Amino acid sequence: MLALWQGYVRNKDLVDQFSITRQQAYQDIRAYQEQHPERLKKMVTGPYQFSAQYLFEAPKHSLEHYLQWFSTGQFYAPQSSFNAALGEHCCVPQRYVAPQVIAVLTAAIRQQKRLELGYVSLSNPEWEGRIFHPHTLVKTGLRWHVRGYCEKSQDYRDLVLSRCRGDAELLDTSEHTKEDDRVWNTQVDLIFAPDPRLNDEQKEVIAHDYQMENGQLRITTRAALVDYLLKEMQVKAQDLEETPEAQQLILLNPCDVKPWLFEREGKGRLGKVTLPE
């Protein structure tokens, strides 16, 4: 998995993840390479590298596990032991992301470098080159995006991984770091409560669902993630659903949150955060 998505695998990767000796890690990698010579090839110096021909045959589901590992440092094995007789796992289709892009992207984040990559978006569906300074991979709902500085926009932006195109190229050291991303480094409190149109018994059900204190649920997040969090909570910052049973939760401090909502075409500028492309 590591060799596929980051382009190489080292003894140190296995030592850190599984708390084994370097000798054991070397033996494990060597044994795998001998069994699958078409997948791993040993470079003259440095770590084992994945052969390019296998990149297009690898299972797509492993990307989710790699990105989780990259973001948290913890490896989550596929849920092969899930007992279908006891429950059902709701599966959704995964968006395709090219391994070559991920390998360069994660290298740029680790080394704090900028990169050049192709990108398409709903506002501009034609392929165009971007110079991007990535600093963090973010999982929001059903997709992953990367946060960083975009030279085209002259600001920090979110790029959707599945919309990256072509081969990415690692460039020089970035001068736009995570520490310079004001929206990313701003903390915002979102305060939720049961919809006041519910009766007292219904409000208690909602309060218990979220283990509220004094009838409120407070969540602190980054300003750059406010809009994503509201979507995950299925709460609209402005308009209410027709019925309280459909709404369930309301946002108690919309004025505090409004500056960090995405701009949306036709609705004017709601805040200082731009809708992901």
Report the sign of the C-alpha dihedral through residues 175, 178, 180, 184, in that order.
Answer: positive
Other CB atoms within 10 Å distance of the CB of residue 247: 19
Reported pTM: 0.77
pLDDT in tens, 199-258: 999 999 999 999 999 999 999 999 999 999 999 999 987 777 888 898 999 999 999 999
pLDDT of residue 74: 65
Q: Can you tell me the distance from the alpha carbon of 40 to that of 52, in angstroms, rounded to the nearest whole number?
A: 9
Helix axes 99-111, 62-72, angle to 10 degrees: 0
Pair 63, 101: CB distance under 8 Å? no
Q: How far apart are CA 261 and CA 225, in angstroms?
A: 9
Q: Assign 173 to helix, strand or coil.
A: strand
Instruction: State which H helix or E strand residue 249 sits in.
Output: strand 249-251
Comparing CA positions, the residue from 59, 60, 61, 43 lying closest to residue 7 is 43
Q: Give Cβ neighbours of residue 103 (< 8 Å, ≥ 6 apart).
A: 5, 6, 7
**What confidence tens digit (pLDDT) does each residue in 163-197 have?**
999 889 999 999 999 999 999 999 999 999 999 99
DSSP three-state, residue 267: coil
- What local confidence, expressed as pLDDT, does residue 56 receive? 53
**CATH numbers and ranges of domains, the chain:** 2-58 (1.10.10), 99-178 (2.30.30), 186-274 (no CATH)
| Structure confidence at residue 159 (pLDDT) | 95
DSSP single-letter state for residue 213: B
Please give the backbone phi and psi of residue 270, each rounded to the nearest 5 degrees, phi first.
Answer: -85, -25
From CA 258, how far away is CA 182, in angstroms rounded?
Answer: 16
Q: What are 41's two structure tokens?
A: 């090839």
Closest alpha carbon to 97 in 168, 163, 6: 163
User: 236 — alpha (psi -120 to 50), left (phi > 0) or beta?
Assistant: beta
Query: Which pLDDT score, from 0 to 100, does residue 129 have?
Result: 93
Enter the DSSP assignment of 141: T
Cβ-based neighbour number of residue 49 at 10 Å: 14
Can you tell me the distance from the alpha carbon of 134 to that of 12, in angstroms, rounded to the nearest whole number?
A: 24
